[in-house]
Each structure stands twice: as structure tokens, then as C-alpha cells.
Amino acid sequence: MQIKARFFSLLAIISLLAILIPRANVYAAWPAPVRGKHAMVVSQHELASRVGVEILKKGGNAVDAAVAVGLALAVVYPEAGNIGGGGFMVIHDSKGGNHAIDYREMAPAAASRDVFVGSDGKLIKGEGSSTIGYRASGVPGTLAGFELAFKKYGSGKVKWSELVEPARRLAADGYVLSYRLARLFRDYSEGLSKYPESKRIFLNNGKFFNEGDLFKQPDLAATLGRVERFGAREFYTGRTAELIAADMKANNGLITVEDLKNYQAKEREPLIGSYRGHKIISMPPPSSGGIVMLEALNILEGYDVAKMQYNSAEKYHYLAEAMRRAFADRAEFMGDPDFADVPTAALVSKSYAAKRRESIQKDKASNSNEVGHGAPAGHESMDTTNFAVVDKDGTMVVNTYTINDLYGSQVTAKGTGILLNDEMDDFAARPGEPNMFGLIQGERNAVKGGKRPLSSMTPTIVLRPDGSVWFGVGARGGPRIISAVLQTVINVIDHKMDIQAAIDAPRIHHQWLPDQLTTEPIGFSPDTTVILKAYGHKLASSWVASATGLMIDTNGVRLGAIDSRSDGLAVGY
């Protein structure tokens, strides 16, 4: 209730500022973004953010700090922070270089196109499905990705063990449970209680934890201790790998020792586009987020969004139509680029956006069944978490990682303390049928051993026209991640908001199918919704993701922002 109350008050203040402050000025949120003279860490748990700041104070850079934050979140934010899942990291270094680390999960070798289809030809539900239980997990990539980033782009001034030790200590010594996390354990008890290790660790063997209890995770501490001593490969080739594979075999799972041994994180060419003269750096496939966001931005570039009020029906109409077309293309054209020919360059080109824009009408909503995908030339969970770091030298990292649904597959691998993901649901378990987020996905994203599932994660960094780093943002929330990041970019560039105001402002979401425009419960005037309905939009009400972001202002001050829809803390120094 406190979070919702804060969100409501922030929205009221933002709306007042939109009326009172001249358009040429920056729309500022109150409370204001957290300020730091030298550096900033933003994550969805205070303890993790403080771990990152301590690494920076030791001489580590933003990459070092990001790794330490990610490991700490695996302990203190277990519903989404992880070493049993995977994700993406985007880096803009102090020398101007841009880098993208892909540590997305992979399908086990035994996985096949119809692995989640029953003998009756229908998708399997419950145990054995793509959403819960042992067979729902892809091979985790988090530790491999963190180690790759550390070795290639870390400062060289701190050791790997120094990045792991704070997380290990938090797991061994414990931390005090918040009301939110204690309640969340109970909310997910139905699924967690099905698996003995999850029930024992997170549900206190059915007795439940309460707010204020000290929560310790000795098995996870032991796992992190091995990783601290022997490096990330211990997870893939050592005792931890043996424990995971043995538990999988005992429970009809798919992941084997060979699957773990063969996993590799990859460095990919970052996706780079532009919006009104600002360079946009984001993640390429197998993330769909960067392409969908850039395609939508390219379509919107044909309209004078800055002249539209940020919460006007006119602005939301054009935004929804841009999203509709970009998500339709997502369904048809996107998948793992190592297995499918994804026409990335064509999809993010300005000329393709101009063609897609031609069918948008000024005051009439399109019909998604009629819009469909385009014809470019050439050949995602509510339960993710994003964090971001900027250091004193200007290196910025935005990292989004996930175990998909809250608490992933609900399975904790015996003897490890590791919650495993349910990322197999991010494949098209049956092409043409919706996944847990209602997303329709095509053959390019069908299940295949060794393949990485399509994702909606959208870690993004934006540069000023002079090339200096300006702000970074990412979000949690399945396919709504894309909408949250997209609208944050628009709010900063077009509507001149600071990073906190840009993140807190009300949002919409349209993902092509189902053909509905989601508006948030608070922040939309009755007049706006009446106009959108008159245009033919089918409205639904729900929250649209939660974001974290940071910014460097023109004086070099670091600004950090945590979405009022969620929890966490920005810590600067």
C-alpha cells in the first residue's frame, strides 16, 4: 500500500508540473532522483545497491559493480535475481565503446519442437509443461555472462572473489525479511510447496516466514563459496553442475552435465539506432526488446511527439499504433540469430518504419488481425529484474536478467539453493499459440536443443547528440518491459523529463495480440480514455512493468531512479 500511495502522489505532482512548468524546462519529479557526485547504483534491493557502491569505492568499475549487484540480488531478491537464469548486459565504456553480453538460457540438447505437446496434440499443463517443474528450465547463463563481462571489461583492480563474497556472506549470515518478501513467499506457496527444497528453504517447511525474520540460505552460500574459489566454470563443470544434473535426472528433467559443460555466454554486436539525433544502444536478438523499441521509435519519429501533451489521447494513439506494428513483426521475424535468419537491419531501418507508418490513421485504431507483420527487405516476464551502474569515469552498465515467472520453475535444485528458471516458456512451445504473457510467437522461435529463447528484455543506453553518455534504463515485466523502456526514452527526449519523472509517468502497452490497449489504473483522465475508445481502441487496465534508470546531468552529477511501482534503492556517492 505504501508503494501505491507513493506512486499516486508522484503522479499527481508530475501532472501538476506538466501544467505549471513551461515546455522548455525539464519536468522534474518529486521526490527527486537520488544524486551522486561520483557514481550511482540502482537496483531493486537496498542491500544489493550498497554492495555495488562498495565495489566502486574499492576501485572497481561499473562492470565489476554490476556483477557484484547481480550476485547479491540472487540472494536478497530471489523471485527474480538469480544464478539459475540468464539475461543480457549492455555496456558503454569510458572510451566510447559499446558492448553487449548475451547470457540467455539455452534449451537442453534433449529438447525438441514438440517437447511440451502431449499425446492429444495439446500443450501440456502443470508438471512437465514449459511453465513449472523440472522440464521448464533452460540451461542457466548468468554466471557465465558475469564472468565474461568481468574478464573482458572489468577494471582489473578487484578480484572475482571480491565480487562473489558479499553475496555469499548475505546467504550465509542472512538478512532481515521485508514485509513484501515475506508476503511474496506466501503468495507463491502453492507452486513452491510442490518441490521439497523450495518448500524447505522459502516456505520454512510450511511454517512460513514473517516480516522481520532473519532469512539464511546455507546451501546457496555453499554454492557461492565454490564459485568464489573456483570461478564461474565451477557451476558448469564442478560439484554444482553434478548436483543440478543429478536432481534433473531424478525428476525427469532435461538438463544434463553435458548441457551445463557446453554452455557459453556470447558477446554480440550491440544494436544501435537513433531517435531525433540521439544514439540508442540496446540488445540485439535473441532479445526482441531492442528491435521492437527501435522500430516503434522510428515510426514515432514521423510525428511531432514533443508538441503533443505527454498524456494526451493523440500521443497514446500514435504510440499504440507503433507498438502494434512492431510487436506484429516480433511475432513473425524474431528468434535466436544462431538458428534463424532475423532481418535485424531491415526491421530497424528508417525506410521500413516509413512503410509501416503509412497504414496508421489519425483518429482510428487499426485492427491487429488486419495489420499483421510487414515485409522487411532482406532475409517476454513479469518477473525479471533490472539494475544499472555508472562509475566515476562514465562507464555505464544496464543489466536485465530473469528466471521468467516469479520464482521461475518453482524448483530449487537439491543441495544447491539455486532456484531454476522456467525460460522454456519463452520459446514458442507451439508456434502460433500464446505463452504465459499472451505473446504469439512464430517458427523462428520454436524449441530446439542448444537454442536460446526469444526475450523481451531491453537494457538500453542513450547518448547525447555530442556522443556523451546521457541515461540508461531497463525494466521488469515480460513484454511490457519494451513498453516501459520505450516510453521512458520518449519522456526524456520528447517531453524533457528527468529520469525519475520519465519512469514514474503513466504508461500504456500494446503487443499486437491480444488486440487491446492496456492503460494503467492511475494517471489517465476520463477524457483521454473516452477519446481512445472513440478511435476504436479496446481498453484494458493493468500496471505496465516497473523500471530502473540512471542519468548523468549536464554538470556530471549522477542521478538514480527507482520506479514508484516497485521497490529498491538508488545509492550514489
Dist CA 153 CA 97 (whole Å): 11
**Which of 20, 146, 122 has the alpha carbon at shortest distance from 71?**
146
Residue 142 contacts residue 84 (beta carbons within 8 Å): yes
Q: How does DSSP assign 523-549, residue by residue?
A: S--HHHHHHHHHHT--EEE----EEEE
Per residue, the 3-state secondary structure of 4-65, as one string, reads: HHHHHHHHHHHHHHHHHCCCCCCECCCCCCEEECCCEEEECCHHHHHHHHHHHHCCCCHHHH
Q: Which of 163, 173, 162, 166 is nearest to 218 (CA)?
A: 173
511 contacts 479 by C-beta, under 8 angstroms: yes
* The C-alpha cell that represents 310 in the structure block: 505527454
518, 541 Cβ separation under 8 angstroms: yes
* CA-closest candidate to residue 83, choices 418, 478, 371, 392: 418
**Residues 384, 400, 412, 528: which is the catalytic one?**
384
Q: How far apart are CA 100 and CA 344, in angstroms?
A: 15
**CA distances to 130, 187, 198, 422, 447 from 409, in Å:** 9, 15, 10, 4, 17
Phi, psi of 145 (to 5 degrees): -65, -45
- CA geometry: angle 367, 334, 340, nearest 5 deg: 140
Using CA atoms, how far apart are residues 508 and 517, in angstroms rounded to an integer? 7
Catalytic status, residue 554: no
Cell 518491459 belongs to residue:
481
**End-to-end Cα, the chain, rounded Å:** 30
Residue 257, H or E segment:
helix 257-262
CB count in 10 Å sphere of residue 204: 14
CA distance 44 to 507: 20
What is the Cα–Cα distance from 485 to 473, expressed in whole angstroms?
A: 6
Any residues with CB less than 8 A from the CB of 565 and at least 6 apart, and which?
3, 7, 543, 545, 546
Residue 367, CA distances (Å) to 423, 512, 531, 536 in order? 31, 9, 17, 9
Grouping H, G, I as helix, E, B as strand and the rest as coil, residue 72 is helix
Amino acid identity, position 68: A
Amino acid at 264: Q
Record the cell numbers describing residue 78, joined without a space.
530471489
What value does the CA radius of gyration of the chain take, rounded to a whole number of Å?
22
Establish how many alpha carbons lie within 13 A of residue 563's alpha carbon, considering only the half-sphere containing its beta carbon: 27
**Which of 383, 374, 460, 483 lies closest to 132 in space, CA to CA?**
383
Q: Which residues are catalytic?
A: 384
